[in-house]
Chain A
Amino acid sequence: MTTEKIYNFMGLRKIAAAFSITLLLISVGSLAVNGLKFGLDFTGGSLIEVGYQQEPDLNGIRDKLKNAGYEDAIVQTFGSPVDILIRMGVAHDPKLGDMVLQTLQSGETQELTLRRNEYVGAQVGEELREQGGLGMLLALFMVMVYVAFRFQLKFSIGAVTALAHDVLIVLGFFSVLQLDFDLTVLAAILAVIGYSLNDTIVVSDRIRENFRRMRKSEPIEIMNVSLSQTLGRTLVTSLTTLLVLVALAVFGGEMIFGFAVALLVGVFIGTYSSIYVAANILIMLGICKEDLIPPEKPDGDEIDEMP
């Protein structure tokens, strides 16, 4: 029916399953052992960003802060060597930012600027963590209901498994590399859910269509045809999205770097999962024509459409 080359995607399905399971095990293992390196948004605490004119000596800053009584201060550069980020625990004073700036300014010839001063109460952070987890579960559940309603339950299970797979692996990526997990990264993960879902739906849509059209074929063959037909589109969309994300990661600055990285990983994994995870699950669940052919339509109609 089509002159397009059919790739034997499903021939690799066992290897793909093993690959996915390995990635998932690594992710879950790292999440269990290392956990996530939650940023200020989720842990609570204070963060002060100070701008220098010339590159300062980090150890000098650390000593100065220690001498001034800020024992728990963590000092690091942020983006550029003249941009210094200082993190502290929850105990906070309204004038902390100004006081730290004063401490650092003393004995310094260059003029310092307070770029950012953030304080998040411990309770607020905790609530946010709960809300974030809840939001993700809610998103997955709504998707499951919608897909079950528009497609069929087996597709719904496939889609949600693919999404959970993507989310876990992105989380795992942040856990293994111990990257800062803040609110923007959470937003990125929800966007990954949206993106990966978009991909999965497009593929599922084609699978459903082909099940109705190619009645004589085996499910595995139908999968291969559908995936091959959508491959072009999957790659092009992923590519354009990756292009803008690379632009964001390279030029967007330190504040949204985590966001861009989470999405980059998410788009990679999302593209892979809509080919291998969702389709694989459908095969495992034993998807067959009876699941998808609308029962109310008389048979005669459908035969006309056959190739």
Chain B
Amino acid sequence: MLNKYPLWKNALIVLVLLVCGLYAAPNLFPDDYAVQLSGTRESNVVNQPLLDQMTEVLQQANISVKGEELTEQGGLIRFKDSRTQLEAKEVISRTLGDKYIVALNLAPTTPEWLRSIGAGPMKLGLDLRGGVHFLLEVDMVSAVAQRLDVYVSEIKTKLRTEKLRYRSVEHREDGSLELKFSAADVRDRAATLLRKDYSEFLINTEDRDDAFYLSITLVESKVREIEDYAIKQNLTTLRNRVNELGVAEPLVQRQGRNRIVVQLPGIQDAAAAKRIIGKTANLEFRLEAKTDAPRVTTETYEFRNENREATLEKDVIITGSSVSNAQSSFDENGQPQVNITLDAKGGQLMNRTTRNAIKRRMAVLFVEHKSRTLSETVDGEQVTKRIPYVEKKIISLATIQSVLGNQFRITGLDSATESSELALLLRAGALAAPIYFVEERTVGPSLGEQNIELGMMSVQIGFALVLLFMLAYYRVFGLLANIALTLNLVMLLAVMSILSATLTLPGIAGIVLTVGMAVDANVLIFSRIREELKNGMPPQSAINAGFDRAFSTIFDANITTLLAAVILFAMGSGPVKGFAITLSVGILTSMFTAIMVTRMLVNLTYGGRTLKKLSI
């Protein structure tokens, strides 16, 4: 029979729509504003009594609590709006101190049975929710330089053990190593040895000025490997630091060859976050130089907080990377201090060194990678240059009273803030290579709320206008198209939720645009049907011909639009990506609803009976 879908086809379409409805449903339950509690240490557990106590404290402060619950990550207290949430966070952090991490969070309100099938609402992007976005660039030149420094000492040791006398091993500025020898045969033997042991070296020989040289550069694949390692190391460190900040749903991700994106939704104090994330601090523990020590084995550094200097040995006992735990606290006199625990190897080294150095003084050097930006005019154009430099300053110089082992403490810090930040940085590890901020975006929560409001309003108004127009222009067919268009919106939400895509402001714009363009397929079909009717075709055949003939046009037109959307996705960043996703998903779902769903509705309305005329 003409214009009848077989039962299985109808059933399949209805099934697809039902499943989509189910997965789109969580978006009807807006997230609660919540405060999340978790312990900074294993011993600080979040339990029911603690939650009850907090609720009581909040009630005393006249802050109404919507609910509390224990989760895998700790405790969650819910509030009715963001203002209450902010006030509550203040109160809770003041009460609990730094034993617990108190973070702003959004708690899902999706019913349990929906969550059990993996359904959840779409995530909101930073522009809708507020928060910070950082783009960091890892300094690859210094990552490679650091590795080359390690090679220099390895090569020296190797040549010494093989009794090959060299005059110097130098790390040159262009990223190559230069070895200088007095005799050609020694140089050649060294070259053979190094070629055998290091497949990653490209070794060239050179003779000039009565000396014999080997110049060593790294092969490209090795450079890549070092860079990859540096990025991975930095990613891990940044993740640790972000976790220490206690942000819910943070994003730390590599982007391109040398960049890292960090997104912290819902965070208020961007400056503090930036200070902690961007710090490329490390510590070096060194002995103070004896007064009779030769000049070449010592270095002089300034103190960080005082206007004096001290001369230290060049040899480093241990660095911050040996630190396995660090906690800030106060000493007997109420001065801030950091208690440090070292790993086994670090403890041994510390023990061995301090055994022979009792009553000598040990310095803690604070090493920070910084950069200054210089603006200069080159060829009439303003060019900014970043000049990286390393700043090393002494934060404490104390007499070693007894042999130090795995545990000891650093005193002489400025404030409690400084000691807790230092402890945090030591815990979270050092960065493998310095990083710089190349992009930052902070969106305040009020702007986020306003963006959602405006975005939603324009979706509703645009949608309503299109529905009215279609109804007026195509009557019954317009009504069917409107049902399909509404279902298209549901499917779009469902697919985006399933992909756990992030909804951004341009993403909302994409939805609006999809609504406008999704009717295109219906318009194509309907105008074909009208045309066939005018040509004198009977209604049932006209419907059939209309759908059939429009199909290839719809297909071609949508595939090409999809091409543009895919390119947009590949090259876009953040919010623009959101737009590309909505557009692509919208194109696909609109093809389904405009062709299959509308056909089903038309068939159910008109199919299988004799018609004199169509309401189109």
Please report the C-alpha to C-alpha distance between residue A156 and residue B441 in the assembled complex, in whole angstroms. 41
Is the pair B568, A187 in contact by a Cβ cutoff of 8 Å?
Answer: yes
Residues of B within 8 A of A113 (CB): 444, 446
In the docked arrangement, what's the CA distance between A187 and B504, Å?
13
Contact check, A194 vs B469: say whether CB atoms are below 8 A apart: no
Interface status of B451 (Cβ within 8 A of chain A): yes
Question: Chain B, 407-434, contact with A by CB distance < 8 Å: what is the 0/1 string?
Answer: 0000000000000000000000000000
Q: List 25 interface pairs A-B (beta carbons < 8 Å), by A numbering.
A: A2-B531, A3-B535, A114-B442, A117-B270, A120-B438, A128-B573, A132-B571, A184-B509, A191-B579, A194-B565, A197-B564, A198-B520, A199-B557, A205-B553, A240-B517, A240-B519, A244-B516, A247-B462, A248-B458, A250-B458, A251-B458, A253-B451, A255-B451, A256-B455, A256-B509
Whether the pair A114, B278 counts as a contact (CB closer than 8 A) is no
Chain B 478-520 per-residue mask, 1 if CB under 8 angstroms from chain A, else 0: 0000000000000000000000000001100100110111011
15 further contact pairs, Cβ within 8 A, besides A187-B576, A243-B465, A248-B513? A2-B531, A113-B444, A116-B442, A116-B447, A135-B567, A146-B563, A184-B506, A191-B513, A194-B561, A198-B560, A232-B530, A233-B523, A233-B527, A237-B523, A240-B516
Tell whether, in the assembled complex, residue B527 and residue A236 are in contact, meaning their CB atoms are under 8 Å apart: yes
- On whether the beta carbons of B373 and A91 are closer than 8 Å, the reply is yes
Q: Which residues of A are found within 8 Å of B463, using beta-carbon distances?
A: 244
A256 and B506 within 8 A (CB):
yes
Contacts of A139 in B (CB 8 A): 563-564, 567-568
- CB-defined contacts of B517 to chain A, threshold 8 Å: 195, 198, 237, 240-241
Interface stretch among A31-39, A94-102, A293-301?
A: A94-102
A172 within 8 A of B: no
> In the complex the two chains form, is A236's CB within 8 Å of B560's CB?
no
Is A190 on the interface with B (CB-CB < 8 A)? yes
**Which positions 359-373 of chain B face chain A at CB distance < 8 Å?**
373
Least Cβ–Cβ distance between A204 and chain B, in angstroms: 9
Which of B437, B462, B552 contacts A94, CB < 8 Å? B437
Cβ of A118 < 8 Å from any Cβ of B?
A: yes
- Bound-complex Cα distance A250 to B462 (A): 10
Which parts of B261-314 form the interface with A (CB within 8 Å)? 270-271, 274-275, 278
Categorize the interface residue count of chain B.
Answer: 35 or more
Given A183-B576, A247-B458: A197 and B531 within 8 A (CB)?
A: no
Whether a CB of chain A sits under 8 angstroms from the CB of B190 is no
- Interchain nearest-CB distance for A199 vs B (Å): 8
Contact of B512 among A123, A132, A146, A248 (CB under 8 A): A248
Chain A residues with CB under 8 A of B437 = 94, 119, 121
Task: Establish whether residues A247 and B519, one from each chain, have CB atoms under 8 Å apart when the complex forms.
Answer: no
Q: Indicate with 1 or 0, residue by residue over B541-580, a CB within 8 angstroms of chain A CB atoms.
A: 0000000000011001111111111011011110110011
Interface of A is mostly: helix
Contact of A244 among B135, B382, B454, B465 (CB under 8 A): B465
- Contact count band on A: 35 or more
Task: Tell me whether B451 and A114 are in contact (CB under 8 A).
Answer: no
The distance in angstroms between the C-alpha atoms of A91 and B382, with both chains bound, is 11
A245 beta carbon closer than 8 Å to chain B: yes
B446: contacting residue among A115, A187, A230, CB under 8 A: A115
A49, B448: Cα distance in complex, Å: 13
Closest to A229 in B: B531
- Bound-state CA distance A255–B505 (Å) is 8
Whole-angstrom distance between the alpha carbons of A244 and B437 in the complex? 38
Interface flags for A198-211 (1: CB within 8 Å of B; 0: not) read 11011001100000
Cβ B439 vs Cβ A121 within 8 A = yes
**B534 to A239, Cβ gap below 8 A?**
no
- State in angstroms the CA–CA spacing of A51 and B449 once bound together: 14
Query: What residue of chain A has the Cβ atom nearest to residue B570's Cβ?
Result: A135
Tell me which residues from 118 to 133 in chain A have a Cβ below 8 Å from any Cβ of chain B: 118-124, 128, 131-132
Let me know if A134 is at the binding interface, CB within 8 A.
yes
Query: Per a CB cutoff under 8 Å, which of B127, B515, B560 touches A201?
Result: B560
Q: Does B583 sit within 8 A of A, measured CB to CB?
A: yes
A49/B447 in contact, CB under 8 A: yes
> A260 at the A/B interface (Cβ < 8 Å)?
yes
Q: A94-B278, A243-B466, A251-B461 are in contact. Are A197 and B440 (CB under 8 A)?
A: no
Assess whether B199 is interfacial by the CB under 8 Å rule: no
Structural contact, A263 and B568, CB atoms closer than 8 A: no
Alpha-carbon distance between A244 and B323 when the two chains are bound, in angstroms = 59
One digit per residue, 1 when the CB lies within 8 angstroms of any chain B CB and 0 when it does not, for chain A 164-195 equals: 00000000000000000001101100110111
Is B375 in contact with A243, judged by CB distance below 8 angstroms? Answer: no
Complex: A205 Cα to B571 Cα, angstroms: 30
B residues in contact with A23, CB < 8 Å: none
Are the CB atoms of B469 and A240 closer together than 8 Å?
A: yes
Taking CB atoms, residues of chain B closer than 8 Å to A187 are 506, 568, 572, 576, 579-580
Given known contacts A190-B568, A237-B520, A202 and B473 CB-to-CB distance under 8 angstroms: no
Per the 8 Å Cβ criterion, residues 245-271 of A in contact with B are 245, 247-248, 250-253, 255-256, 259-260, 263
Q: How far is the CA of A186 from the CA of B575 in the complex (A)?
A: 12
Question: A90 with B506: in contact, given A197-B560, A198-B558, A252-B458 (CB under 8 Å)?
Answer: no
Any chain B CB within 8 A of the CB of A143? yes
Q: Mark B376-404, 1 if CB is under 8 A from A, else 0.
A: 00000010100000000000000000000
Q: Any chain A CB within 8 A of the CB of B524? A: yes
CA of A229 to CA of B534 in the docked complex: distance in angstroms?
12
- Please report which residues of chain A, range 140-157, place their CB below 8 angstroms from some CB of chain B when the two chains form the complex: 142-143, 146-147, 150
- Taken together as a complex, chains A and B put the C-alpha atoms of A138 and B270 apart, in Å, by 37
Bound-state CA distance A121–B512 (Å) is: 32
Q: Say yes or no: is A66 at the interface (Cβ < 8 Å to chain B).
A: no
Query: By the criterion CB–CB under 8 Å, are A252 and B559 in contact?
Result: no
**A14 lies within 8 A of chain B by Cβ:** no
Question: Cβ of A142: which chain B residues have Cβ within 8 Å of it?
Answer: 563, 567
